[in-house]
Chain A
Amino acid sequence: MDGIPILSFITYAPAVGAVIIFFWPGATPRAARWIALVSSLVSLALSIAMLLSFDTSLPSMQVSGKPQFSEIHSWLPAVGVSYRLGVDGISAVLIVLTTLLSVISIVASWDPIQKRVREYMIAMLLLETGMLGVFVSLDLFLFYIFWELMLIPMALLIGIWGSANRVYAAVKFFLYTLAGSLLMLVGIVATYQAYFNETGIHTLNVLELAKGHYSHEFQMWVFAAFFISFAIKVPMWPFHTWLPDAHVEAPTAGSVILAGVLLKMGGYGLLRFNLPLFPEAARSWQPYIVVLSVIAILYGAIVALVQPDLKKLIAYSSVSHMGFVTLGIFAFNAQGLEGAMIVMISHGLVTGALFLIVGMIYNRGHTRLISRFGGLATNMPIYASFFGFFMFASIGFPGLSGFAGEFLAILGALQVYRWAGVIALIIVILSAWYMMWMFQRVAWERAPGEPPDANDPVLRTPIPDLPEERLKPVMGGSGDEHFIDPRTFPDINWKEILMLTPLAILTLWIGVYPATFLDFVKPALQAILMPFGGSGF
């Protein structure tokens, strides 16, 4: 595939769709949906082709200096900026995750989004371009541009098509992420200047900059500047407070993208920039970051336990799961990094699916309160099966993707900080608790309003509804006043099954045979580990 700028095609295919929708005044909502679907499908097809022709036998670009599918064009030579694209195994896998989830999100918005469809699809497609651009850029300047480019469409998605408290959530999301990334901008320029002072070369090429020798003090500061930006995206405790708001208020597709891809950018940034560029600082910061990760795992799980809102529960569980990612990365050994990678992919698939699943009953019942559902397994058996499947995947049930990742991450952590590994292990039980409890209440228990079943000893005792004042803050205008009986919900249709099936297949695949995916990322992870002495592959 030499000579074909396939990465540019993948990245800009959605943007082309957005431009068409924008400049074609006659685009009906229906046409806008189709254009969006087709352009994101093109991107998906190209990215799968890219992944299939990706050569896993080649040494990683950090070693050879030659990224695969590389594209280099001079852009602003005076300040060392070039248009430099390329992928290694890590980004290749994440690109496919992004394109896949984007297609699914567009399908998921097909019927629920009826207001300003054209603008919605434009924002969706631009968001996809921004996300893909982040993964393909190897120039720090270019990377930063795409990094910021994602912000605006995402904020608009939350702010225009979100639920009651959307404006607050959108602005909070925007300001939080912007504040973090601006510090990173200073870090980028400082790195550029330090490298220039050392070698006399103007460059922002990541692979080149990683060869610099930076003083320890410099590394500590600049590492922190990058780290805060990524920690906000992950999000790591205590930078996580934007996440529950954003998730709860975003439309379903927004939540899917947010959980599935945007959170991965934090982990990706740590792997791509923090570790290779500032290994010394990474080692010095390691204990603190491990502590924060453990807190995140614990905190996310505990808070998830008490959430009355389905989306909020999953949002906090994300904080917990992403804690495994940072824990794995900062174990600095093969198991830890592999685990982190699998958790990232798995979380993208599983949590994306869970948000879709919540969205499906939200579309039917116009509420996300757990207490408003019950007994869905009776009238929505297919739905409940999918729900149960992804619930188990999220818990980390062996044979599904969550298990493979968290197991490896904990294994990695145990070798470095035994206590951290042990705590993380214990918390997995908590995650089973909150997920299964949620599933029990939504799928099995008596629906609100249903008379107690005289023949069922378990359900004979009536379940008290939560007091109204406890529900108020989360109810907002989420339509709770127009209560729809969950017993009347129709089961999911073919479109919804179509959305969940690929995610389910991949979840199972990763769980049973993770080697397919690990083969892609191994060389890259190995190269990242080199300055840390360990390989262990």
Chain B
Amino acid sequence: MALDFVQPDWILLVPELVLLGTAILVLAGDVFLPRRNHYLLSWLVMAGFSVSLVSNLLIDWGAGKTTFSGMFRADYFSLFINIIVLSAGIMSIMISTAYVQGNDEPGAMPLPEYLVLLVLSILGTMLVGAAGDLLMIFIGIEMGSLAVYVLTGFARDRSTSIEGALKYFLLGAFATAILIYGMAWIYGATGSTNLAEIATRLKPMMTGDSKIEPSLLLALLLLAVGLSFKIAAVPFHMWTPDAYQGAPTPVSGYMSVVPKVAGFAAMARILVEALGPLSETWLTLIAILAVITMIYGNVVAVAQRDVKRMLGYSSIGHTGYMLVALAAYNSTSAGDRSVGSLLFYLFAYGFMNIGAFGVVTWLQHRGHGVDLDDFAGLGSRSPLAAFAMTIFMLSLMGMPPLVGFYAKYYVILAAIQNNLTWLAVVLVVMSAVSAFFYLRVVAVMYFNEPIRQWQAQSTPLLGVGLGLMALGTVGFGLFSGSVLDLAQKWVQAFT
């Protein structure tokens, strides 16, 4: 029997290949460039991200083509994931270059390694978005996570950084094991690892009023638990605050967004696309997770004085909001907005949260945590930074006309559309709670007199980056229509 080698459709992989090439170039640059010129590599990576972003135009996403025997898919969903993570990548580089290069952290690794890890983790997340197979999802998630574990422990001589990384790694590895175990059970129950194939095989099993098989239920639970770790849903969030607080600040910003995107992309791919026929079962589960995640994240954030930790808990709260979007999935509704609003939320979240961490980076001094007191009087001392922070805080709070408001609005819309009004009410009540701690930052900046002396380390790149993110937070709010339309095309992808 002759082996039938399929010629892969390389064009579909151009965005990923560009990133791979960038990573290799950076590694080479590490060796060949003199140390003082390493900052050029940041520009190289940003260029790589940009080229990769533009190269998305080469692909006909509407066709929903697959390659590598269905392992890899190019549809509107993967396109949107690419856009989110690549723009998040560019923003992360902007806020981190000065920080990393200034050797601000004791025992910090050199810049090129930092950059390579960042590129690889973004590549992994893009693979999750483009996955057509459970194994692909697994590979993508692992590729993304491993790089972020290392980035978390990036400040090798600082114990909090190591502690955060270790917690993140151990729990993450544990979650991964659970995840792959769940995948194995799915394979056992359906005989396939291909997402579309799984859905086709599940459909006949779920006809009529037949009860869900115990093996499928187990698989579902294992997958949900594994992925909940990745997105930091309560009660699987234990690593989050420590990891956020311990990691170098730009990394905290990065890992509040990209690994979350990977987790949610995997959730959408697995739950909606593959296990869509079981939606009756998992929707309840997701709704419960959403409620406890929203409540826990926002309520605990109120008590935080360390701003990084506060943002860590608030990111748990945002996970909850995104879960609401997922819980609003309705397989029978034609204009279902659930995944569309989830994608839009992730997109919006990237700008405002990386932006917020960017301002914290800007204020950061020598690896210490950033306390609320450090923000005191910022409004009069550095009006622009304070203004940017205000925009990010208000957007995270969900104030119109900023992008965070639109994101929340679309989630509420999706929830109410599918008769989850109670979930929408929980969401807005928790938004009101969150206003308390976001507002506190704003209040401290403008209403209080400066308490501590510090030397803000502002570089042009960081300044421009913050400006761009603030602009995006405002602009993508006012002109959210086209972004939303693109996100809403997930419907075409998942059929």
Contact = CB atoms under 8 A, between A and B. Distances in A.
Given A76-B481, A79-B410, A145-B401, A160 B435 contact: no
Contacts of B448: 167
B447 A186 contact: no
Given A170-B443, A182-B431, A186-B425, A79 B413 contact: yes
Nearest to A183: B428
A110 B447 CA distance: 22
A171 B439 contact: yes
What's the dominant secondary structure at chain A's contact region? helix
Contact of A175 (B409, B410, B439): B439
Nearest to B431: A182
Interface string B392-431: 0010001111000100011011001100010011001101
Interface in A81-135: 116
Contact of B428 (A160, A170, A175, A182): A182
Given A77-B481, A79-B413, A178-B432, A149 B394 contact: no
Of listed A166, A170, A189, residue having the most chain B CB within 10 A = A189
Contact of A189 (B405, B416, B435, B446): B416
Contacts of B432: 175, 178-179, 182
A152 B435 contact: no
Contacts of A79: 409-410, 413, 484
A56 interface: no
A103 B428 CA distance: 36
A485 B409 CA distance: 56
B435 A175 contact: yes
B488 interface: yes
Interface string A45-86: 000000000000000000000000000000111110000000
A241 interface: no
Contacts of A186: 412, 416, 421, 424-425, 428
A174 B409 contact: no
Interface string A154-196: 0010011000001100110011001100110110011011000
A82 to B, nearest CB: 11
Report the interface size class on chain B: 20 to 34
B interface SS class: helix
Nearest to B485: A78
B436 interface: yes
A78 B484 contact: yes
A152 B446 CA distance: 12
Interface in B436-483: 436, 439-440, 443, 446-448, 480-481
Contacts of B485: 78
A185 B412 contact: yes
Interface string A461-484: 000000000000000000000000
A144 interface: yes
A178 B443 contact: no
B481 A75 contact: yes
A116 B480 CA distance: 34
Contacts of A208: none
17 contacts: A76-B484, A78-B481, A79-B413, A116-B380, A145-B405, A156-B446, A160-B446, A167-B447, A167-B448, A171-B439, A178-B432, A179-B435, A182-B432, A183-B425, A185-B409, A189-B416, A192-B413
- In the A-B complex, the 4 residue pairs with the closest CB atoms: A182-B428, A145-B400, A179-B432, A76-B481
Interface of A: 75-79, 116, 141, 144-145, 148-149, 151-152, 156, 159-160, 166-167, 170-171, 174-175, 178-179, 182-183, 185-186, 189-190, 192-193
Given A144-B400, A186-B424, 14 more contacts: A76-B484, A77-B481, A79-B409, A145-B400, A149-B400, A159-B446, A160-B446, A179-B432, A182-B431, A185-B412, A185-B428, A186-B428, A189-B409, A192-B413
